[in-house]
């Protein structure tokens, strides 16, 4: 019987992160998964959902509902972002700010702190994308902010953002070994992106403290037969993980399918979603279900459940594997896979209830 402290969620099909189970219920207490039991043993009047899966995780998203975090660096922007993410099946998100001024980065750090202090849920920390990138691969990033970092600049940012900054995207070829080691010493995940690194430079970086790459194919040196570039290095590496934006605009779905065949569990989905913006250096405007700034592709209009559908419907990826790409694998890249990304005894109770067509009905978030 369900009590005030214990909740039971029934599913026709339950995806644990490892595989599918039928006729099971998830027992939750104090934000933790206590056990998985047969639906036959629980109150039959409880709602039964067509499917329950681990809630999704979006590790790169910039804003929602007209409030880009970089323009509105305040807790309210993150509350709106959380609601947007939950609507798309995600219990957790990593707000991201693109290449910008020092003042904007510091204000975004303050916004995350304030959000947490207000009891805001789901925010994993702050992802800073740039400005330590290669201007040749800037994409929609603002060139006047782009530069190679000094050790002192990095120290100051990391000190101010301690325990808030969780990921930094940089171009390894414009950052010194000392800078990379310094960032790593703070426990910050380093992702290679907006980079024109050669295959050799990228491979060296992946062997020396950089364990992820940002939006495969986009804003990185391409795979060519005489110059495999960063794309070739990502595909070829044994362990490096990479995000990809599955909207059909950032990357052709056939290219996602090819990368998936090669990378398997190393490839995961992000939305890279922005919002309509009329202030600041990034004027994002919706065009054909994608965003552009100054005529350049600048972000997606995805949420995580749309990522899931696109991976299944257009990239021809198996449903179970597509579910892992939006939950387990993002948890792994964030070093959170011991407590989220699966439905298993002892894990945080982050669940997404789905209908027959894998539409989101409800999200349960532990924290």
- For the annotated catalytic residues, the residue numbers are 272
d(CA 72, CA 279): 10
CB of 105 closer than 8 Å to CB of 132 = no
CB of 277 closer than 8 Å to CB of 68 = yes
d(CA 254, CA 135): 28
Report long-range pairs for 221-229 (Cβ below 8 Å, ≥24 apart). 221/137, 221/195, 221/196, 221/197, 227/198, 227/199, 228/199, 229/197, 229/198, 229/199, 229/202
Torsion of CA 254, 255, 256, 258, to 10 degrees: 90
* CA–CA distances in Å: residue 317 to residues 311, 326, 338, 340: 6, 12, 25, 22
Length of the chain: 367
d(CA 288, CA 111): 31
DSSP 8-state class, residue 220: B
CB of 67 closer than 8 Å to CB of 98 = no
- Residue 109's nearest CA partner among 146, 157, 153, 141 is 157
349-323-24 Cα angle (round to 5) = 50
| Residues paired with 268 in a beta bridge | 243
Structure tokens at 216: 């495969």
d(CA 51, CA 233): 37
d(CA 270, CA 87): 15
Please report the sign of the dihedral spanned by the C-alpha atoms of residue 114, residue 118, residue 119, residue 121: negative
CB of 40 closer than 8 Å to CB of 85 = no
């Amino acid at each position: 019987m369900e009590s005030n402290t214990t909740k039971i969620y029934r599913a026709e099909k339950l995806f644990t992160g490892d595989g599918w189970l039928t006729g099971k219920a998830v027992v939750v207490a104090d934000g933790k998964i206590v056990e998985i039991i047969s639906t036959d043993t629980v109150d039959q009047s409880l709602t039964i959902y067509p499917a329950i899966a681990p809630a999704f995780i979006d590790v790169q998203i910039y804003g929602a509902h007209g409030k880009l975090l970089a323009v509105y660096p305040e807790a309210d922007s993150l509350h709106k972002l959380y609601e947007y993410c939950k609507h798309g099946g995600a219990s957790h998100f990593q707000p991201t700010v693109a290449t910008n001024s020092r003042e904007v980065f510091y204000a975004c750090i303050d916004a995350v702190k304030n959000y947490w202090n207000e009891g805001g849920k789901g925010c994993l920390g702050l992802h800073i994308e740039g400005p330590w990138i290669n201007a040749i691969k800037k994409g929609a990033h603002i060139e006047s902010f782009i530069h190679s970092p000094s050790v002192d600049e990095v120290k100051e940012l990391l000190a101010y953002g301690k325990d808030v900054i969780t990921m930094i995207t940089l171009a390894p070829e414009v950052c010194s070994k000392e800078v990379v080691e310094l960032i790593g010493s703070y426990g910050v995940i380093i992702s290679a992106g907006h980079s024109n690194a050669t295959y050799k430079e990228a491979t060296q970086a992946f062997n020396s403290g950089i364990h992820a790459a940002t939006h495969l194919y986009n804003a990185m040196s391409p795979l060519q037969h005489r110059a495999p570039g960063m794309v070739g290095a990502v595909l070829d590496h044994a362990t490096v993980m990479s995000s990809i934006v599955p909207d059909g605009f950032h990357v052709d779905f056939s290219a996602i399918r090819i990368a998936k065949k090669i990378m398997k569990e190393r490839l995961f989905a992000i939305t890279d979603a922005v919002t309509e913006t009329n202030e600041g250096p990034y004027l994002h405007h919706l065009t054909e279900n994608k965003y552009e700034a100054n005529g350049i592709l600048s972000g997606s209009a995805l949420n995580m459940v749309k990522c899931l559908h696109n991976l299944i419907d257009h990239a021809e990826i198996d449903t179970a594997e597509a579910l892992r790409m939006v939950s387990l694998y993002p948890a792994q890249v964030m070093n959170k896979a011991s407590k989220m990304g699966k439905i298993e005894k002892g894990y945080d109770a982050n669940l997404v209830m789905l209908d027959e067509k894998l539409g989101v009905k409800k999200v349960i978030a532990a924290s």
